[in-house]
Amino acid sequence: MAQDTLFTKIINREIPADIVYEDELTLAFKDINPQAPYHVLIIPKKAIETINDIKTEDASLIGQLYLVAAKLAKQEGFSDSGYRVVMNCNEDGGQTVYHIHLHMLAGKEMGWPPYTNNKKVLI
Ligand code: 5GP
């Protein structure tokens, strides 16, 4: 069983967040330290620690994270200009919160490759 993280507290409204979308399975809220003009985190309500812990039965739940990203992109006008979604895994991937989350970044042209010398991943 995954440990509760601060994202569980956000799901349970124990700590505040700027929530932009919610359904039965997922929640999306603004990142507290945005790396792009629009930066939201899309999370499953089910606590899954890392990509490595995703089970076959979670496949549609993971798909739902992408459907929410596309929905938000359409709503915010980023569908055509483009955006980036990224999920970090463990230390080298830059993961700091151990409840999987899809970063959705938009509103500027993204760089590639997505790494820098000082290790933090998102551009
Ligand atoms: P990771 O580094 O695990 O891929 O991403 C974790 C993200 O969670 C970071 O981008 C960080 O800014 C964000 N974050 C950390 N704590 C909070 C918080 O309390 N509220 C919100 N909204 N975002 C947070």
Residues designated catalytic: 101
> Taking the domains of the chain in order of start, what are their residue ranges?
6-120
Q: How high does pLDDT run on average in the chain? A: 93
Read off the pLDDT band of 113 (50, 70, 90).
Answer: confident
Which one-letter amino acid corresponds to residue 29?
A: F
The residue to mutate among 8, 14, 97, having the most atoms of ligand 1 within 8 angstroms of its beta carbon, is 97
Kindly state the average pLDDT of the residues 3-13: 93
Q: What is the pLDDT of residue 4?
A: 83
Per-residue pLDDT tens digits for 91-110:
999 999 999 999 999 999 99
Helix (H, G, I), strand (E, B) or coil at 49: coil
Distance 103 CA to ligand 1 centre (A): 9
Rounded CA separation 18/10 (Å): 10
The CATH H-level superfamily of 6-120 is HIT-like (3.30.428.10)
